[in-house]
Amino acid sequence: MAQRRGNLWLALTGLGLLLYVVAEVAALIWVAGEIGWWTLLILLGSSLIGIFLLQREWKKAWGALSESLGTGQLPSGQLADATLILIGGTLLVLPGLLSDIAGALLLLPFTRPFVRSAVSWWATRTLQRNGMAPVVIKGETVQQPDTIIPGISPAKTDDETTVVEGTIIEPGDPRT
């Protein structure tokens, strides 16, 4: 069953790539028929703009990522932005009008949050559908050096024991 599902996804991916190439060629032929050789200038210009935007936005994303890691925070939004910037820059550098539009949506700072939200929504739905919803553990870290809980091997740092108290909330619990 898993082999058939894998083969189906491979076939659908191949079909999707073939449809994308056909759509890209059709768009280029249509635009070239409408404006002529200016199409080449558009493709060259979009590649140059893509290289410029990729460098500029990558520096911003890398700085924000480094700053959040330096302060000890989780870089969730910055990591997603960096990924979208790399994908968008690659799409803009590749020749093609449709890839340029998609790359611009990923690279421009005012459209990227919408794309990031859509990707996050899609990933959450996919995980929930496959039964892999995340478990949320709410609680706080309390320093209690003399407390040892039986059956739990405490993490030690500088002769102190860290005890984490919390409540496990199962998916679908009304407290979430």
Identify whether residues 63 and 123 lie together within a single domain: yes
* Same-domain check for residues 56 and 119: yes
Structure confidence at residue 57 (pLDDT): 80
Rg (CA), the chain: 24
| pLDDT of amino acid 69 | 75
Domain co-membership, 94 together with 147: no
Identify which of 34, 30, 48, 36 has the alpha carbon closest to the alpha carbon of residue 95: 48
Q: Could you tell me if residue 115 is inside a domain?
A: yes
pLDDT of residue 22: 93
What tens-digit pLDDT sequence spans the chain (176 residues)? 667 777 888 888 999 999 999 999 999 899 999 988 888 888 888 888 888 888 888 888 888 778 877 777 766 677 788 888 889 888 888 888 899 889 888 888 889 889 988 988 888 888 888 777 666 667 666 665 555 555 555 555 555 566 666 677 777 766 65
Query: Does residue 12 belong to any structural domain of this protein?
Result: no
Domain membership flag for residue 94: yes
Q: Are residues 116 and 159 in the same domain?
A: no
Asked if residue 4 is part of any domain, the answer here is: no
Distance CA 119, CA 129 (A): 15
Q: Is residue 15 assigned to a domain?
A: no
Q: Is 52 found in the same domain as 109? A: yes
The verdict on residue 9 lying in a domain is: no
Q: State which residues form the domain around 165.
A: 136-169
Helix, strand, coil abundance in the chain, percent, nearest 5: 65, 10, 25
Nearest to 116 by CA among 76, 149, 167: 76
Q: Are residues 99 and 144 in the same domain?
A: no
Looking at the structure of the chain, the number of domains it has is 2
pTM, two decimals, is 0.61
Partnered with residue 167 across adjacent β-strands are 138
CA 104 vs. chain centroid, Å, equals 16
Is the same domain home to 60 and 103? yes
